[in-house]
Chains A and B, each alone.
Chain A
């Protein structure tokens, strides 16, 4: 199947030499929900604006459904954008906003009316057709903006941080709704966000960007379980890092000296087998063992002191200060009140354990 969007070596620098997008290539398949994820300034929004045609790339090309649209103005591209702050026309009512793109392209009046009605029903705003945008709530404006973009039956829907202006509850509801809408319509969604939970919850595929480059691209599970570098590991979910030096390696295990401790990490394809390394491990893969209790046999262990406990209801995140390393975050399941009582108190010594196959190993040269 041909990709609906092909991005080929796009580079864009702004004045003052700031490189916003640095040689990005990417294929988006038809019907995919893809998310560009990264902190502010990583070039994700610029990339989206280049796809929409608002920014011109310095080099590289963009294909939409096989057509080279690199030099097309925005009004000749079959993509539509949902803007971050909605960008609704304040001098038009909701129906006029939604029908705007159709009116101008010479669609007959009765067909516009039908399409507007249909699209507004899709976003559950049929009763607001005659309202001005200023009379709507943030969530409703968001839906109008969505309806306006969808009314033109675009090949690709671009969403620029569409949920960032909404409050937390509404944001979660809209995440589900957008996902359902995507499944129902079957068109390609390209969304920009800085919110990793949003990306994990919604996207089929996530493109993690850093400094204008694609850091890693894959399914949410891929990115979480097999991050390509510490940067991705930290950006998707939470990660603990232990700095160390490789002391020896065989086919199955890499031995890492981290301070006084010797850690044994499972060796996988691409594991560094020498030099300085970072061991990366997720908080939920760590076990916390109070002093006096013997840790599970054969596991790596680091001893330290509990210095903070944050309760999240069903679980708690415990921060353990470890000599010579960054503090380790450990997620502890609290399935019963007795487990809660067993949690070591703040200031008490504790041991952090993990199995060799749960840790990931990154070489020093990898993107941090």
Chain B
């Protein structure tokens, strides 16, 4: 993809983020941070590419191991982030009707 189309996606996504985040209720700001944490671990995609490439080029072997470590770190974040968000959200309850 050329730089300009990537940049367009980025700028539009910033606006989407702006409006979506303002509509998040303040009571859920902690889960918001936990879930943004989890989704920013989509960086695992880069780590997977590095790990998958193996040692075709010079430095490929090092890159592979760095990628694998990246996969571990991002996985901690993905599983931990989504699980802790789920745990928090499960606690938010409405008043019981009597």
Is chain B a partner of chain A in the same complex? Answer: no
Residue numbers of B with Cβ under 8 A of A are: none
